[in-house]
Amino acid sequence: MIELKTPAEIQRMHVAGRFVGEVLSEVGRLADVGVNLLDLERHVRGMIKQRGAESCYWDYAPSFGRGPFRNVICLSVNDAVLHGLPHDYTLRDGDVLSADLAVGVDGWVADSARTVVVGTAAEEDLRIIRATEEALEAAIEVARPGNRLGDISAAIGAVAHDYGYQVNTEFGGHGIGRTMHEGPHVPNKGRAGRGLTLRPGLTLALEPWFARTTDQIVYDADGWTIRSADGSRTAHSEHTVAITEDAPLVLTRREPDNPATRADSAGRLSTKKA
């Protein structure tokens, strides 16, 4: 079922989206050499509790996965790209970290993801991150009334093709609103001019993700963490977007990062655990 939202309901989703953006900005500042994934997760858990928000991941139990998810954020490192289960791992120089967060505030949900490099960045890692970000912006640009769902998928796929990356279609974007996953499914590759006609009030989580040299995936023994099948590094970018009569409205847009704050934020991590 696809539910179109009123302008007032979109504004309520925007409240959740701003908070999700704030949390992911904080994660980006805290992600540094020597920081443990479990400490990051606890910090995010504390932010959600303080805001009075609700994690969409806690107790999430879809058809995939092994048992309910018992964390509030997905943290995926290097060749891991989706559903990364936070575990006892200390970030190292050059690691690639993808963070994916969905939170509800007063009954309305927003979902977003970002990928950052910890410490020294390799050009190949910056390139694949840039590709997902450009694919996301291309998808947002065509999320306008009268266009088709396939136009979004085609826009993402075209950027991947230009960069030379293959596209996996098993996991992609989705509708969102009162719950984290609503219809329709939004593949990261498709044909322009095909599929559902986009209408004002449709709210979508658009999320291109690529691996350097494959479109195949494997699962960790934890039943959640999804990795590139050949061990190549990955990246993931996502925003919640509302289709309006005018321009697309990005509900989870973050403030630009300030690298000067990273060291200070990382230093505060150990003193602000939930």
Binding-site residues for a divalent metal cation? 100, 111, 174, 207, 238
**What tokens were used for 163?**
């960069």
Q: Which residues are annotated as a binding site?
A: 83, 100, 111, 174, 181, 207, 238
Instruction: Report the amino acid identity of residue 56.
Output: C
Indicate the pairing of strand 234-236 with strand 96-105. unpaired
Residues 70 and 72: their CA atoms lie apart, in Å, by: 7
Per DSSP, the three-state class of 252 is coil
Per DSSP, the three-state class of 240 is strand
Alpha carbon of 39 to those of 49, 71, 264, 267: distances in Å?
15, 12, 16, 12
**What tokens were used for 94?**
């050059």
Alpha carbon of 151 to those of 145, 158, 187, 202, 236: distances in Å?
11, 10, 11, 15, 20
The full 3-state SS of 129-162, as one line of letters, equals HHHHHHHHHHHHHCCCCCCEHHHHHHHHHHHHHH
Q: Which residues are annotated as a binding site for substrate?
A: 83, 181
